[in-house]
Amino acid sequence: MRILLILLFLAPVIYSTAAFALGTRSANGIDAVDFEDRILRKPVQKVYFWPSLTDFEKNVLRDAFVQIGRRTCVKFEEQEYKPWYHADRWDANSPHVLIRKSGKFAAYSDAVVEGLVDRTILYVAQSSFETRNFNNSRGMVMDQLVSGGIPNLGTPDYNPIQLTWPFDPESITVPLWAREKFRLTPYCPARNDADIGAGQRVGLLTKWDTVKLNSMYCPDKVVDADPSRGPCVVPRSKDLDSFKKRLWAYKRLLAKNTKRRKAKAKVVKKHKTV
């Protein structure tokens, strides 16, 4: 169930008082084993909704499934709820996911029940359903569907494929509140601070969210994706003027830092000579 889209708050791109990262699909405990004995998930997920979910909450989840499925090869197949003792829940060839809600946190719990059935429980944060905007609720749920676990508590290893793609401040995995605590550095001149968390605000995957997911699950569908032309370096037409100003400031900063490094290296070399 954990589709696991990586999000890196890189120092050269965005700064804050904290930094964190999410994992990839490796070592997740369901579907298939790779050559390193790590488990890999397939892009099709069978999902059961816990009976306590309201109709509204189910609709938000279904809409999140649709939005992810529209642009990626990752699909969620909702199943009619069945109690734990039902035969379908004990099919060793049919791993499944239970989606519940939690009032305090969002988390995953993987288990092999009785050594037979791979089961994942996804606890969706109750707060995701309590926003005033439906799209924002959907975005928060989508973030929890594609994000990894808590660092140092079973977070899977990173998939090198994801690291080949650029940082995206508008990613669905960047929370909307991040714009209040984070600022883009001069190394991301093509986007504004107001763009931080935009994907989660509107509840839609960005181009680079789509690329990262598809590059892991169906790389043949990744087209027109040049990692050197990410959102931080390619401005929108409406932002072209402000981009030129920020780009000029960035070049000045780069030249200043380069000059400073050369001067420092010269001093060090002189001291070594003496």
**pLDDT digits 0-9 by tens, 15-36:** 332 222 333 344 333 344 444 4
8 Å CB contact between 29 and 196: no
Among left, alpha and beta (phi > 0; psi -120 to 50; other), residue 80 is: beta
**Structure confidence at residue 68 (pLDDT):** 94
How high is the pLDDT of residue 270? Answer: 67
Cβ-count burial 150-163 (b if 16+ within 10 Å, e if not): eeeebbbebbeebe
Q: How far apart, in whole angstroms, are the C-alpha atoms of residue 230 and residue 165?
A: 8
The number of beta carbons lying within 10 Å of the beta carbon of residue 20 is 11
> How many other C-beta atoms can be found within 10 angstroms of the C-beta atom of residue 72?
23
Pairing of strands 117-125, 107-113: antiparallel
Q: What are the residue ranges in the chain where pLDDT is below 50?
A: 1-39, 151-157
Residue ranges of E strands in the chain? 14-15, 32-33, 39-40, 44-49, 75-79, 96-102, 107-113, 117-125, 183-184
CA 221/CA 217 separation, integer angstroms: 9
pLDDT number for residue 71: 92
β-bridge pairing 32-33 and 39-40: antiparallel
What is d(CA 30, CA 178) in angstroms, rounded to the nearest whole number? 32
Q: Are 204 and 157 in contact (CB under 8 A)?
A: no
